[in-house]
Amino acid sequence: MNKNNLNILMIGILLGGLLGATIIYFLLTSMASHEVDTAGSQTNEILYWVAPMDPNFQRDEPGKSPMGMDLVPVYANEQTSPGLIKVSPVTVQNLGVKTATVVKKVPSDTLRLFGEVDYANDNIVHIHPRVAGWVEKLTVRSKGDYIEKGEALYSLYSPSLVNAQEEYLLGLKQGNKALTQAARSRLISLNAPESLIEKINKDRKIKRAITYFAPQSGYLSELNIQEGFYVTPSTTMLAIANMDSIWVLVDIFANDINKVTLGSEVRIESPFANGLHFTSNIEYIYPSISTDTRTQKARIKLDNPEHILKPGMYLDVVVNTNHTNENILTIPKPAVIRTGLNDRVVLSLGEGRFKSVEIKLGRVYDNDYEVLAGLDEGDLIVTSAQFLLDSESSISSDLKRMEKTSSEAQVSSPDDMNVSSWTQATVNEILVSERIVNLSHGPLLEFEMMGMTMNFTVADDIDISQFQVDQEVHVEIVKSSTGMYQVKTVHFMDEQHNMPAMDETNDEGKIQ
């Protein structure tokens, strides 16, 4: 073989190899594509169609729900776990989904209350006369004045005090010790100052008006007399309150009463106290609840040597109500969805998968709830946008619970068919040929359905021609064997009296 033929042979072999490789590549690509298409078609296979607002209403083909809404498809590739949903990363980001980890910790538990400063009752002295008489001179004039201990308050003229002085002076002059001692005891019992008795001993003279002095330092919290007033032992003439210590009274709402105990630590702050803060303890909890505010009072005693805190001031009181150092399972408050019937959270299972689960809550703390059941330590829960995820998960969960074969999904159980609910409705549209009426109805309590506008089938023994648009009717609703809600009984309302029209009815109350 010459050189030219050899070259030609080599080129032919090369071209043949390239052609074979190209054919194999296209065959493999075609097979892979077919496999992908087949898998995709299987993965995206539509199992059935369902009503958006009623997961129990399922059909094998597209159509309308009893409420007139388009049915939505349910695909085979949807998760089979009840309540499990999958959300794309873009949607998760757009929703602003945030998560937190379920942890065990010692939670912070404080109670923020408002407190009002008041005089400490055990630091108040009320001054009454022991005898009847007249106020001849009043040294203090204004409520709120500061009084030093021993400062003169008022002068009192009383015939009884004059008579007691005369007896004492008589005993002194006669040297009668028994009379002198008896008269002295009487003067003391009538609250005569010791200085008066000493002056009589020295001067042997009777004093007509007696001056009384402050028994303690403090502020004049009450002043009920003026010069010339006639007073008796029942008269509260004035009161002096010492403010070296004061009371702070706080109102505790009924749902927080069990959190506060005697000795609970408190921190007190006030913008009126020049940025100062005080620490103390609950000294006393009053036994009754106010009928006006439905709150219970508690008392805190504070030292106030500089008299910074004044009666009537409002203070911020923070009570430490955490009486345990126990590590408990907690979740943040924003994560909990409270419905009134149960409490739920949305679990984040990774890769865009979420599931709504029911939990049982315990004690409430500042920023956390105690979890008694439903979660484990380390679980990841959603704290933002969880309401949207929960609604989707709840619908999905209902769908999975009711998931049956196509034929089974269209048949209601005997128990469902035995349930009925009465309500009042307005006729919007009548489809005679299809025996369907569109009604705006009130709540259907037995079916736990709120008032809305939707389509109903009409029972065969009801004359559908009697329905008129804008007519008020009283209807009994049942669930038919097809899964749609049906008008079983109807009362056509009298427009004038809003009562059932006087039409003949059969034994079951149906209009003939």
In the chain, the percentage of residues whose pLDDT exceeds 90 is: 26
- Extract the tokens encoding 93: 């980001």
119, part of any domain: no
Whole-angstrom Cα distance, residue 417 to residue 298? 59
Range of lowest pLDDT (50-64, 88-102, 200-214, 474-488): 50-64
What is the DSSP secondary structure assignment for residue 335, as one 8-state letter? G
Residue 141's contacts (CB-CB under 8 Å, 6 or more residues apart) are: 223
Measured CA to CA, the distance from residue 55 to residue 118 in angstroms comes to 62
Kindly report the length of the chain.
512
Residue 196 lies in a domain: yes
3-state secondary structure at position 109: coil
Mean pLDDT, the chain, rounded, equals: 79
Q: Where are the alpha helices (DSSP H) in 46-95?
A: 89-95
pLDDT-derived band of residue 47, with 50, 70 and 90 as boundaries? confident
Question: Can you give the pLDDT at residue 158?
Answer: 93
Residue 415 or residue 217, greater confidence: 217
Which pLDDT does position 321 carry in this prediction? 77
Has residue 337 been placed in a domain? yes
Q: Are residues 285 and 343 in the same domain?
A: no
pLDDT category of residue 56 using cuts at 50, 70 and 90: low
pLDDT band with cut points at 50, 70 and 90 for residue 499: very low
Can you give the pTM of this predicted structure?
A: 0.51
One domain, residues 428 and 485: yes
CA-based torsion, 304, 308, 310, 316: positive or negative = negative
- Backbone φ and ψ for 332, nearest 5 degrees, come out as -65, 145
Picking from 349, 366, 401, the residue at the C-terminal end of a domain is 401
Per-residue pLDDT of 351-384, as tens digits, reads 788 888 888 888 777 788 888 988 888 888 888 8
Question: Is residue 114 assigned to a domain?
Answer: no
| pLDDT score of 44 | 61
DSSP 424-491: EEEEEEEETTTTEEEEEE--BGGGTB-SEEEEEEE-TTS-GGG--TT-EEEEEEEE-TTSSEEEEEEE
Residue 84 has pLDDT above 80, yes or no: no
Q: What is the mean pLDDT of residues 168-174?
A: 89
224 with 134, same domain: the answer is yes
Q: Which residue has the tokens 């009752």?
A: 121
User: Do 380 and 437 have their domain in common?
Assistant: no
For residue 479, pLDDT over 90 is answered with: no
Of residues 144 and 30, more confidently modeled: 144
Phi-psi region of 158 (alpha: psi -120 to 50; beta: other; left: phi over 0): beta
Nearest residue to 216 (alpha-carbon basis) of 186, 245, 187: 245
* Res. 55 pLDDT band, cuts 50 70 90: low
- Strand-pairing partners, residue 359, are 343
- In terms of domains, do 169 and 230 share one? yes
- Here the contacts of 200-204 (C-beta below 8 Å, separation 24 or greater) are 200/165, 200/168, 200/169, 200/172, 201/172, 204/169, 204/172, 204/173
> What is the pLDDT averaged over residues 234-257?
90
Confidence (pLDDT) at 255: 78
Q: What's the pLDDT score for residue 411?
A: 44
**Residue 363, domain extent:** 84-107+326-401
Let me know if 364 is exposed, middle or buried by CB neighbors in 10 A (0-12, 13-18, 19+).
middle
- In terms of average pLDDT, the best of 68-77, 137-146, 479-488, 491-500 is 137-146
What percent of the chain lies above the pLDDT cut of 70? 77
Contact 246, 273 (CB under 8 A): no
Q: Among the three residues 260, 295, 320, which one is the final residue of a domain in this structure?
A: 320
- Highest mean pLDDT among 65-79, 234-248, 309-323 belongs to 234-248
3-state helix, strand, coil split of the chain in percent (to 5) is 25, 40, 35
Same domain? For 221 and 136 the reply is: yes
* Co-location of 212 and 142 in the same domain: yes
Instruction: With respect to residue 511, please indicate whether it lies within any of the assigned structural domains.
Output: no
Same domain, 303 and 351: no
**Residues 436, 485: contact at Cβ < 8 Å?**
no
Q: 115: exposed, middle or buried (C-beta count within 10 Å: 0-12, 13-18, 19+)?
A: buried
CATH of the domain at 297: 2.40.30.170
Nearest to 54 by CA among 75, 40, 43, 70: 70
CA distance linking residue 249 with residue 242, whole number of Å: 17
List pLDDT tens digits, range 442-466. 888 888 888 888 889 999 889 898 9
Residue 90: give its domain's CATH number: 2.40.420.20
pLDDT for position 344: 84
136 and 228 both lie in a single domain: yes
In a domain, 498, yes or no: no
Q: Of 401, 435, 464, which marks where a domain is finished?
A: 401
Cα separations (Å) of 37 from 31, 44, 79? 10, 10, 20
Q: State the pLDDT at residue 330.
A: 86
pLDDT of residue 30: 42
- Which of 322-326, 440-444, 475-479 shows the lowest mean pLDDT across its residues? 322-326
- Burial class of 370 by CB neighbour count within 10 A (0 to 12, 13 to 18, 19+): middle
Average pLDDT of the residues in 396-403: 46
Residues 305 and 360 reside in one and the same domain: no
Give pLDDT tens digits for 106-129: 877 788 888 899 999 989 999 999
More confident residue, 98 or 47: 98
Does 508 reside within a domain? Answer: no
| Number of folded domains that form the chain | 6
pLDDT of 175: 87
Written as one letter, the residue type at 117 is V
pLDDT value at residue 265:
85
pLDDT in the model for residue 81: 56
Given this model, what pLDDT does residue 4 score?
Answer: 55
Instruction: Check which CATH number belongs to the domain holding 466 and give it.
Output: 2.40.50.320
- Output 134 or 359, whichever has higher pLDDT: 134
Tokens in use for 126?
């009320």
> Are 294 and 360 members of one domain?
no
Confidence of residue 181 (pLDDT cuts 50, 70, 90): very high
Interval 8-39: pLDDT, tens: 555 555 555 545 444 434 433 343 333 333 34
Task: Report if residue 155 sits inside a domain.
Answer: yes
User: Residue 244: is its pLDDT beyond 80?
Assistant: yes
pLDDT on residue 358: 87
Q: Within this chain, do residues 166 and 250 fall inside the same structural domain, yes or no?
A: no
